[in-house]
């Protein structure tokens, strides 16, 4: 069964560990995502986010370029196992060749907010997906979490402030470049601004349902899920326990497979069978007890079937819906 994941923080994590003096590579490492584990788990495509905490690293563009260099090095050194794609046809070519695929995304609009030329430069390097915010207000708009989610947890439920004028201009530029617009981390107002102004389908790479976990404003409301699905979009199951467990408290163990399945069932009931995929957030979240790394994802698929999901539906969740979205929008 093909597995396509729309989000992980692995490359940014590798950069952090390298800066701390550790010798680490994408091919084999102690993280949740490496190439050996991807092959073990049957991963067809992994989206690697260039994630920057703008408040810790004020020059977000330069930090992003540093992460990009590490990504390029890893692609060059591991060309026998994986290659970057910028079109759907390249994904199909890699599948036929028995190679895994890497899709590059930008997670934080501050990376490119300085100028459309900066955004175009990252597009020229192969970035094909981008959020407009992370967890801080930037020049483009407002997030649904103000501050560091691991220490402050200052959520902004129902935040009506959305995209600023500059954010609307960059949304237009993202669409002009045919970059995939990612609404994860955006405020409620920002989501609806994208829904109103976008001319192409958009996605939420790593967001769950707020209707099931009301304590997580990072999740989408039922109305948002319906709107995204109605536009042909797709959303990725985020394995973070605070977005999965209604009564989660700091210090508890990570998400269980049963909780992921319960969330999947809820979203499918709201948005239909075509709207849901994977957006693990691996290497940016607390380790999961049962699927601690991507090599274990076939176990998740097996448990979905045991729960009662049809095999065809499991195929869609594990990769089919993301593949359909990329076929229609990655050109």
Distances (CA, A) of 310 to 147, 219, 294, 317: 40, 26, 22, 11
Residue 273 pLDDT: 98
CATH architecture of 3-329: Alpha-Beta Barrel (3.20)
Residue 119 pLDDT: 98
| pLDDT exceeds 70 at position 212 | yes
| 276-323 pLDDT per residue, tens | 999 999 999 989 999 999 999 999 999 999 999 999 999 999 999 999
| pLDDT exceeds 80 at position 149 | no
Q: C-alpha 69: how far from its chain's center?
A: 20
**Cβ–Cβ under 8 Å, residues 75 and 82:** yes
Distances (CA, A) of 17 to 74, 229, 317: 15, 38, 32
Pick from 21, 118, 128: which is nearest to 71 by CA? Answer: 128
Q: What angle do CA 116, 122, 204 make, to 5 degrees?
A: 90
Give the separation between CA 204 and CA 183, rounded to whole angstroms: 5
Higher pLDDT, 214 or 21: 21
* Helix, strand, coil share of the chain (percent; to 5): 40, 15, 45
User: Which residue in the block uniquely carries the two structure tokens 């952090």?
Assistant: 16
The average pLDDT across 144-173 equals 78
pLDDT band at 92 (very low <50, low <70, confident <90, very high): very high
Residue 68 pLDDT: 98
Enter the tokens of residue 126. Answer: 């192969």
| 49-71 pLDDT per residue, tens | 999 998 888 899 999 999 999 99
Enter the tokens of residue 186. Answer: 């955006």
The average pLDDT across 163-177 equals 98
Give the separation between CA 235 and CA 225, rounded to whole angstroms: 8
Residue 151 pLDDT: 53
């Amino acid at each position: 069964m093909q597995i396509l994941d729309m989000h992980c923080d692995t490359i940014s994590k590798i950069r952090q560990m390298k800066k701390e003096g550790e010798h680490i590579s994408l091919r084999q490492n102690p993280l949740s995502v490496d190439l050996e584990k991807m092959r073990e788990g049957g991963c067809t495509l992994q989206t690697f986010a260039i994630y920057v905490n703008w408040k810790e690293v004020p020059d977000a563009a330069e930090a992003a370029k540093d992460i990009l260099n590490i990504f390029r090095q890893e692609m060059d050194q591991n060309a026998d196992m994986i290659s970057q794609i910028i079109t759907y046809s390249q994904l199909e070519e890699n599948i036929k060749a028995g190679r895994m695929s890497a899709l590059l995304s930008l997670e934080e609009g501050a990376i490119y907010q300085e100028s459309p030329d900066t955004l175009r430069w990252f597009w020229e390097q192969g970035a094909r997906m981008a959020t407009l915010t992370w967890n801080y207000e930037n020049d483009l708009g407002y997030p649904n979490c103000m501050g560091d989610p691991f220490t402050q947890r200052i959520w902004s439920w129902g935040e009506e402030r959305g995209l600023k004028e500059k954010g609307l201009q960059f949304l237009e530029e993202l669409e002009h470049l045919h970059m995939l617009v990612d609404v994860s981390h955006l405020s409620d107002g920002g989501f609806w601004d994208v829904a109103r102004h976008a001319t192409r389908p958009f996605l939420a790479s790593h967001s769950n349902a707020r209707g099931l976990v009301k304590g997580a404003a990072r999740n989408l409301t039922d109305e948002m899920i319906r709107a995204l699905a109605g536009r042909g979009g797709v959303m990725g199951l985020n394995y973070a326990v605070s977005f999965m467990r209604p009564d989660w408290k700091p210090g508890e163990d990570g998400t269980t497979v049963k909780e992921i399945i319960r969330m999947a069932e809820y979203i499918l009931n709201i948005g239909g069978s075509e709207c849901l995929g994977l957006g693990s957030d691996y290497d940016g979240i607390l380790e999961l007890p049962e699927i601690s790394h991507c090599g274990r994802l076939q176990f998740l698929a097996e448990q979905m079937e045991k729960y009662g999901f049809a095999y065809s539906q499991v195929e869609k969740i594990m990769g089919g819906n993301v593949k359909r979205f990329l076929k229609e929008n990655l050109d």
